[in-house]
C-alpha cells in the first residue's frame, strides 16, 4: 500500500511541477532551447561538421544539467513562497518521495527539448546501439550531479533572487566554459587540466566517445566515470545531511 502511495506522490508532483507548466507556459521551452540551438547555429556557420556533432552532444548534456540545477529554484519557491513543503510535511508523503518527485518533474519539463536534441543526434547518426549504454550513463550521471548540486544549494540559499543569479553563473561555469560544446583538444594544456575538475567535461568525453567522435583509453574511461560518481555521491551525502524536512 505504501508503494502505491509513493507512486501516486511521484505522479502528482511530476504532473503539477513538470507536465502542466509545459502547456501553461510553453514559451519557457523556447527560451530553454534558444541558448543551445543558437550556439549550434553559429558553430555550424564557422566550424566543421564534426564540431556541430560535438555541439549537439554538448547541448543535450547542458539541458540535462540545467534541468537538475533548476530544481533549486523550485524547491525554495515551493518551500518559502508557497509553503507547499509544509503541506507535504503534514501529509503521509516521505521526504525522499517529495524530493525525487520534484527532481523528476524538472526532467519531465525539459523532456521536449531533450527529445528534440536526441532526434537531431539520431539524424546525424550519433546514436548507436554499441554506444547507447555509455551515452545513457553519461547523461544520467550529469543529471544526477546537477540534481545533487541543486538540492545542496536549496538548503543553503533561501532568497530566490540570489538563486536565479547563481543558476545563471553556474550554467556558464558548468556547461559553457568547460569543453562540453567543443573539443577539449582546442584548449591549452593548463586549461585542459583545470577542465578535468569539472564533472560535465567527463560527461561530454564519455558521450562523445559513445557517438564515435573521440577515442578514450580504458584508464581515461574509468577516470571519467569515477569523477562523475565522486561528485554526485559527495554532493548527495552533503545535501542529505544539510537538508531540513521539518522547519524548526
Residue 245's pLDDT band, with cuts at 50, 70 and 90, is low
Residue 248 lies in a domain: no
Domain assignment of residue 44, yes or no = yes
Answer yes or no: is 221 within a domain. yes
The number of folded domains in the chain is 1
pLDDT (tens digit, 9 = 90+) per residue, 127-173? 988 888 999 999 999 999 999 898 888 877 877 778 888 888 888 89
State pLDDT tens for residues 167-223.
888 888 998 899 999 999 999 999 999 999 999 999 999 999 999 999 899 999 999
Q: Quick check: is 105 in a domain?
A: yes
The 10s digit of each residue's pLDDT in 18-49 is: 999 888 888 888 888 888 888 888 888 888 88
Q: Is residue 183 part of a domain?
A: yes
Answer whether 50's CB lies under 8 Å from 30's CB. no
- The predicted model scores a pTM of 0.90
Q: What angle do CA 145, 96, 146 make, to 5 degrees?
A: 15
Q: Cα(132)–Cα(135) distance, rounded to whole angstroms? A: 5
Domain that holds residue 192: 2-242
**Is 247 among the domain residues?**
no
Look at residue 162 and tell me if it is in a domain: yes
pLDDT at 242 over 60: yes
**pLDDT, tens digit, 9 for 90 and up, residues 57-90:** 999 999 999 998 888 888 888 888 888 888 888 8
Please check whether residue 190 is in contact with residue 214, taking contact to mean a CB–CB distance below 8 angstroms: no
Phi, psi at residue 40, to the nearest 5°? Answer: -60, -40
Exposure pattern of 110-135 as b/e (b: 16+ CB <10 Å)? bbebbebbbebbeeeebeeeebeebb
Q: CA-to-CA distance for 157 and 93, rounded, in angstroms?
A: 24
Any domain includes 190 = yes
**Nearest-5° angle of CA 34, CA 36, CA 37?**
65
Amino acid at each position: 500500500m505504501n508503494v502505491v502511495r509513493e507512486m501516486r506522490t511521484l505522479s502528482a508532483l511530476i504532473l503539477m511541477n513538470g507536465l502542466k507548466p509545459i502547456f501553461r507556459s510553453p514559451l519557457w521551452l523556447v527560451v530553454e532551447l534558444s541558448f543551445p540551438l543558437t550556439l549550434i547555429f553559429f558553430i555550424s556557420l564557422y566550424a566543421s561538421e564534426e564540431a556541430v556533432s560535438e555541439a549537439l552532444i554538448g547541448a543535450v548534456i547542458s539541458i540535462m544539467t540545467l534541468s537538475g540545477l533548476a530544481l533549486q529554484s523550485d524547491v525554495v519557491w515551493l518551500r518559502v513562497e508557497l509553503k507547499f513543503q509544509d503541506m507535504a510535511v503534514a501529509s503521509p508523503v516521505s521526504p525522499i518521495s517529495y524530493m525525487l518527485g520534484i527532481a523528476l518533474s524538472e526532467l519531465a519539463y525539459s523532456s521536449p527539448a531533450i527529445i528534440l536534441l536526441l532526434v537531431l543526434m539520431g539524424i546525424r547518426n550519433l546514436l548507436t546501439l554499441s554506444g547507447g549504454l555509455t551515452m545513457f550513463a553519461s547523461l544520467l550521471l550529469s543529471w544526477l550531479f546537477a540534481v545533487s548540486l541543486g538540492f545542496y544549494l536549496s538548503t543553503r540559499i533561501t532568497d530566490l533572487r540570489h538563486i536565479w543569479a547563481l543558476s545563471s553563473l553556474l550554467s556558464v561555469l558548468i556547461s559553457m566554459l568547460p569543453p562540453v560544446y567543443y573539443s577539449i583538444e582546442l584548449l591549452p594544456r593548463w586549461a585542459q587540466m583545470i577542465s578535468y575538475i569539472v564533472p560535465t567535461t567527463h560527461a561530454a568525453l564519455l558521450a562523445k566517445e559513445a557517438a564515435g567522435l573521440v577515442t578514450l583509453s580504458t584508464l581515461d574511461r574509468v577516470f571519467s566515470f569515477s569523477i562523475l560518481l565522486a561528485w554526485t555521491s559527495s554532493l548527495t551525502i552533503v545535501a542529505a545531511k544539510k537538508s531540513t524536512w521539518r522547519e524548526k
